[in-house]
Every structure is written in C-alpha cells, then in structure tokens.
C-alpha cells in the first residue's frame, strides 16, 4: 500500500490528475449502477458541472498567481463582486464580450487595492483581504444606486440589479462528434457511456466564456512553469530575500501578480453576469471562497486547482439541475470512498484512530442511504459544502503552500 501511494505521488501532476479522474469516474459508474441513478454521470449533469466550475476555476487561478508570489488573497470573493458589477455595466452598454473585459477590469482594481495595502503599506494580508470582501459589496451597491436605478430598456435597473445585457454569449458544439458522444451517453453502458459523457461535456453546448476560462489552465501552466516571469514569481513566493539578491524586483512582481489575481477573479464574476445577462446583488454566493478551497485541494498547481473546482461544482450541478435521487447516490459514493480510505490506512499501517473514524463515517452514510427514501431539500442544499469540507480535510494533509505566503516582507529584509 505504501509503495502504491508513493508511486502515485511520484507521478507528474498531469498523470496524477488523469489517474485520479479515471478512478473517480469508475467509482461513480459503479455507484450509479448500484443506485440506479443514471443522472449521476449523464452528459447533461457533466455539462452543467463544467459550466458551474468555470467561475470557480477563474477565481482559483487568481488565487494561484497571488499566493505563488507570497501574498495570501482572502479578498478573492470581494474582487469577484467588483467583477460582477463592472461586467454588468460594460455588458449593458457594449455587449457580452465587453462584459468579460469589464469584469476583469473591476477585479483588477480590487487586486491593486490589495497590493497597495499589503505590499506598499505592509497591512496584514488577511486583514486586507477581509476588508476587501466587506468593501466590495458596499461599493457595488453604491454604484448601482447611482448608475443602475431606473435604467435599461424597460427601467429594470435597481439598487440590487443591473439593466439587462442585450445579447447572450454564444455557445458552440463540435458537429458530428457531439452527436456521436451523446448517442453513446444515452445508451448508459457501464463506464463506456460515463466516459463518453465526460468527453461530451467539452464539445457539446459549451459557452465561449467557459472555453476562455478553461484555456487559462494550460496558459497558466506555461506562464508559471515555462517562462522567466513565472520563475521569478514563484521564487518570491518561496524566498523573497534570495530573489531580491538575484536582481528580482520583488515589489513590482507582487503588484503584477496581484493585478493578474484580481483580473482573473473579476473574470469569474463576469462569467456569472454573462450567464444570466444581468448583475444581481449576492451573485457570487461564496464562489470566491470555493476558489480558495480548490487552491488548497490542488496544492497550488493549475491542474489540481481545476480538479478541485470540478469536484465542488459537481455537487452544485447535482443540487441545481436534478432531483434528490442522484444526491442520495452521491452519499453512497462518499461512503464507499471512506471505506476504501479506511482499508488503505489499515493495510498501510497508518493512524488507527483515523481509520476508525472513516469506518464509522462510512457506516453512518451507508445507513443514511439505505433508510432514506427522499432526501430533504436542506440536505440537497448543503451537500456541495459537505463535499468541500470532506475534501479539504484530507487534501490539506498533503498540501505544501509556498513557503513565504502570508509572511510580511520589506525590501532588504533577510528571510
């Protein structure tokens, strides 16, 4: 068991992601056959999952740039809020593509404010981030009262909502391939249809805004790990004094990284606005914090961040698009995962207390599955956040944040 675990973590991030995704899909396929919940891995569910993941991926990548440079960014939620307002303003005047640019600009302002407070004035990074989360909704509400109330074609603008964006963002599908995969998906063959559903989610009915965000994943991998800029950014997140001694402009790099961080968070907010063609107060609904959770789950790696966002959005898609039967099956899946982890710890001679806790949790979830006919709406609502809590509990043990993240640093200081 220990050798198997060591081999898994010795793989490259991409190979680990492929192995984990394959095993997870196989386990979900087994679960949906046992539970008779075909929607658990259907193409429609996975299309909704990719869509729900897009804003979380954007904000999580924003956190990646910030924290890789050594600046903790708790203010991602606030930057996302600013992105929603500026996206709505730009979209109302110039259309959905302008909304994406406007959202990135709004988040950029939040990122630069965080940089000014933490890099220039040395404010505690957590306090600055929390302050931005409080300030942003107030700023958005004030701007709405001045610029949105009574505006729009039908006067639909209010203090808590913008006028409608006139045109919707387009969607695309790959002709032929999308239809073929949909046919296989509808057959509901074991694992083959589940795999077809996954592939279909990337080629059928995807919004252009979602595709743009997905492309940011390989772009971020290249920028952070294949360019001199990325090397400098990561170096100041590990040991800024050493980077400074080699001629890296640490302050300037932190400003740039926070500008990118805010822009990406704002882009995530813009996606929410473009999707419904309107800004609404409270629209982000904590997705900035889900992005932070995905960042921890992904161990500050773009591929891991994307997997974390997809995992969390999977629960959201089940909650929003289909009934309680798949949610009930999902608890059976979690019970099976707990049991597998328990056996892994027992045979790997790991913590007996942790193994016992997992066994008890698995038994409780299985009992819930067997004795529940209809899942209460409150449980349906809380399920995505239960997934987040469970995943972060286990993922945090293997996480390695940048060494200097959250640590105050001044020019000339030795660390």
Instruction: Write down the pLDDT at residue 392.
Output: 73
Give the SS3 label for residue 408.
coil
Start-end of H helices in 95-201: 96-115, 125-147, 177-187, 192-200
* Whole-angstrom distance, CA of residue 62 vs CA of residue 156: 32
* Residue with tokens 């698009």, as numbered in its chain: 321
What is the separation, in whole angstroms, between the first and last Cα of the chain? 39
Model confidence band, residue 209 (pLDDT cutoffs 50, 70, 90): very high
Using a pLDDT cut of 70, give the percent of the chain over it.
93
pTM of the model: 0.91
333 pLDDT band, cuts 50/70/90, is confident
> Are the C-beta atoms of 55 and 107 separated by less than 8 Å?
no
Please give the backbone phi and psi of residue 207, each rounded to the nearest 5 degrees, phi first. -70, 145
Q: What is the mean pLDDT of residues 303-318?
A: 86
Residue 289: how many CB atoms within 10 A of its CB?
Answer: 18
- pLDDT on residue 348: 65
Average pLDDT score over residue span 322-336: 77
Q: Among the listed ranges 85-99, 203-217, 363-377, 382-396, which one has the minimum average pLDDT value?
A: 382-396
| In the predicted structure, residue 301 carries a pLDDT above the cut 80 | yes
* Burial track 160-175 (b if 16+ CB lie within 10 A, e otherwise): bbbbbbeeebeeeeee
**Which tens digits make up the pLDDT trace of 149-158?**
988 778 888 9
- Averaging pLDDT over each range in 23-32, 37-46, 109-118, 350-359, which range is the top one? 109-118
Q: How far apart are CA 272 and CA 257, in angstroms?
A: 23
User: What is the per-residue pLDDT for 268?
Assistant: 96
Q: What is the pLDDT of residues 116-139, one digit of tens each?
A: 999 999 999 999 999 999 999 999
Residue 139 CB neighbour total at 10 angstroms: 17
Considering the chain, what percentage of its residues have pLDDT values greater than 90? 55
Could you report the per-residue pLDDT of 223-239, keeping only the tens digit for each? 999 999 999 999 999 99
Counting beta carbons within 10 angstroms of the beta carbon of residue 415, is it exposed (0 to 12), middle (13 to 18) or buried (19 or more)?
middle
Q: How many CB atoms lie within 10 A of CB 79?
A: 38
Give me the chain's average pLDDT, please: 88
Give the domains, in start order, of the chain with CATH numbers: 36-322+376-398 (1.10.3470)
Q: Which candidate, 82, 278, 83, 274, places its Cα nearest to that of 162?
A: 278
């Amino acid at each position: 068991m220990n050798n198997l675990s060591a081999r898994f973590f010795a793989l490259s991030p991409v190979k680990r992601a492929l192995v984990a995704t394959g095993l997870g899909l196989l386990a979900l396929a087994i679960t949906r056959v046992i539970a008779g919940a075909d929607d658990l891995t259907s193409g429609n569910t996975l299309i909704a999952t990719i869509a729900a993941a897009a804003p979380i991926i954007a904000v999580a990548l924003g956190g990646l740039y910030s924290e890789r440079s050594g600046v903790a960014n708790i203010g991602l939620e606030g930057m996302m809020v600013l992105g929603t307002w500026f996206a709505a303003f730009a979209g109302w005047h110039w259309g959905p593509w302008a909304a994406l640019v406007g959202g990135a600009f709004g988040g950029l302002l939040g990122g630069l404010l965080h940089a000014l407070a933490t890099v220039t004035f040395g404010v505690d990074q957590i306090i600055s981030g929390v302050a931005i989360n409080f300030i942003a909704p107030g700023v958005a509400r004030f701007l709405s009262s001045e610029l949105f109330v009574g505006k729009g074609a039908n006067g639909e603008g209010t203090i808590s909502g913008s006028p409608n964006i006139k045109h919707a963002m387009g969607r695309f599908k790959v002709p032929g391939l999308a239809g073929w995969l949909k046919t296989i998906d509808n057959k509901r063959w074991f694992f083959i249809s589940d795999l077809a559903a996954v592939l279909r989610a990337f080629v059928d009915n995807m919004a252009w805004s979602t595709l743009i965000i997905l492309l940011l994943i390989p772009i971020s991998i290249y920028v952070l790990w294949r360019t001199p800029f990325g090397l400098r950014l990561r170096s100041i997140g590990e040991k800024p004094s050493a980077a400074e001694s080699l001629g890296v402009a640490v302050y300037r790099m932190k400003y740039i990284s926070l500008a990118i961080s805010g822009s990406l968070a704002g882009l995530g907010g813009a996606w929410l606005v473009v999707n419904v063609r309107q800004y609404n107060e409270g629209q982000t609904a904590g997705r900035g914090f889900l992005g932070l959770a995905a960042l921890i789950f992904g161990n500050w790696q773009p591929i891991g961040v994307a997997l974390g966002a997809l995992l969390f959005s999977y629960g959201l898609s089940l909650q929003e698009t289909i009934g309680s039967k798949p949610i009930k099956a999902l608890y059976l899946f979690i019970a099976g995962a707990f049991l597998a982890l328990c056996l892994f710890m027992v045979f790997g001679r790991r913590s007996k207390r942790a193994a016992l806790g997992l066994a008890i949790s698995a038994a409780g979830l299985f009992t819930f599955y067997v004795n529940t006919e209809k899942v209460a709406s409150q449980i349906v609502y809380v399920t995505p956040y239960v997934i987040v809590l469970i995943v972060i509990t286990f993922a945090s043990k293997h996480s390695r944040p940048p060494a200097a993240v959250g640590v105050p640093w001044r020019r000339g200081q030795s660390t």
